[in-house]
Amino acid sequence: MDVIYLYIPFFFLALLLSCSIVFKRYKREPQTRTKLPPGSMGWPYIGETLQLYSQDPNVFFALKQKRYGEIFKTNILGCPCVMLASPEAARFVLVTEAHLFKPTYPKSKERLIGPSALFFHQGDYHTRLRKLVQSSLSLESIRNLVPDIEAIAASTFDSWGGSHVINTFHEMKRFSFEVGILAIFGHLEARYKEELKKNYWIVDRGYNSFPTSIPGTPYKKALLARKRLSKILSKIISERKNKKLLEKDLLGCLLNSRDEKGVVLTDDQIADNIIGVVFAAQDTTASVMTWIVKYLHDEPKLLEAVTAEQRTIKKLNDEGNRQLRWNQTRNMPISYKVVLESLRMASIISFTFREAVADVEYKGFLIPKGWKVMPLFRNIHHNPEFFSDPWKFDPSRFAVAPKPNTFMPFGSGVHACPGNELAKLEMLIMIHHLVTKFRWEVVGSQSGIQYGPFPVPMHGLPARFWKESNS
């Protein structure tokens, strides 16, 4: 497939200096009895960066695994890395020995999201924040959001139809942003919502740009927009405090939280975690929903089965005059398998970054302190040992539960995505409205992937949608 790279991965660039120092240390020190994993470190500093970014990164990782096995080393932009491509290794890093591997992000990312966001942390603070986020996004909480999410879907898709071409990914981003705002704030005033949206898009555009503070650059604009977001959130937080409401949305959970000493979260901590949740939820969910539109378009028989399932539900709801109910979203077996298979095929989170906090031994190999460790979810999801004919889109494979640790679309362990149930609910509601209201065709090339940074169909999947006459 054709692949287009929309940006240089500045995530790696930001880590360059610290990684190269670690790399030098292990070049100087005498070899220990435990050997490093097999693999090539490439050229000094540059490592194997050119090989990785001159081709589809999935091909790079697959070729490495084929040559060296399920654990191998490499060096990307000065970062010595150990890649892990087995379910057992992923569980070792993310679950059983998670305390030995910390999440690692460049400071440029922390500045835009906020240093107090839960996914930058380990230990007690992380545990406390994760429980709060999970409680606001639990099944019990999100079941009450079904009518509101459906209303957002109807509003978002209402402008579709006719002869004009729609960028599917951009539309799905609009949809997922509105759902995120709903889960965080409940029913937020329109003036606040528009201000948040306007400034968030600026931050979003600068997030993967080169981290320079030169005026006029995307990153500098993002930093300024991030400051404006803090001020907007401060006003919202102040108003909520004055009303003394005990809401169960995310903001309510954060405001009403006290630790064992009775200490509440600061406004900055609350703001950082709100922005973190928006970042974590928006592009990833929108990317998967874009792939769902493409996969259904490419599989007419499957689309027919999904449409029949959803039309039965619509008929029970008086042809859409009554709202979807929670129990109906829990009884969409064909559509749910489509969601799971889309998560596997697309593998939006191809891998995750950790850093060894001490020298670690795994299966006779040394993972040195300070080295980056990357469980390769995509390699596991596309391994024929776990998923037969892995490049074929086949939702029926999920009629049987996958083997443990072979399907991790939302990560695993203490840093797994706490909003996974909301994301799946959002996708199912999207499918319901999509197939009962529209037929569509993809415009232009139907193959190819672009990375920005998550994989989406080429050019955001331009498509024309026509409203069904009975919708």
Please report, in range form, the residues annotated as the binding site for heme. 417
Nearest to 144 by CA among 298, 291, 248, 292: 248
Number of C-beta neighbours around residue 136 at 10 A: 23
**What's the distance, CA 307 to chain centroid?**
27
Distance CA 287, CA 347 (A): 10
240: left (phi over 0), alpha (psi -120 to 50) or beta: alpha
214: left (phi over 0), alpha (psi -120 to 50) or beta: beta
Nearest to 109 by CA among 213, 206, 196, 236: 206
Nearest to 252 by CA among 174, 335, 141, 144: 141
361: left (phi over 0), alpha (psi -120 to 50) or beta: beta
Q: Which residues carry a binding-site annotation?
A: 417
Instruction: Using DSSP bridges, classify how beta strands 79-84 and 372-375 pair: parallel, antiparallel or unpaired.
Output: parallel
Enumerate the H helices of 317-456 as residue ranges: 326-329, 333-346, 377-381, 420-437
Nearest to 10 by CA among 103, 75, 107, 83: 107
Q: What is the DSSP string of 106-166?
A: -HHHHHHH-TTSGGG--HHHHHHHHHHHHHHTSHHHHGGGHHHHHHHHHHHHTT--SSS-E
Distance CA 133, CA 126 (A): 10
What letter represents residue 421's amino acid?
A: E
Distance CA 78, CA 41 (A): 9
HSE-CB for 182 with a 13 A CA cutoff: 23
Distance CA 132, CA 265 (A): 11
**Which residues, other chains included, contact 330 with Cβ-Cβ below 8 Å and sequence gap of 6+?**
none
Instruction: Using DSSP bridges, classify how beta strands 365-367 and 360-362 pair: parallel, antiparallel or unpaired.
Output: antiparallel
Q: Is 57 helix (H, G, I), strand (E, B) or coil?
A: helix
Q: What is the DSSP string of 228-296?
A: HHHHHHHHHHHHHHHHT----SHHHHHHT-B-TT-PBPPHHHHHHHHHHHHHHHHHHHHHHHHHHHHHH
The pair of three-digit structure tokens given for residue 407, joined into one six-digit string: 């399907």
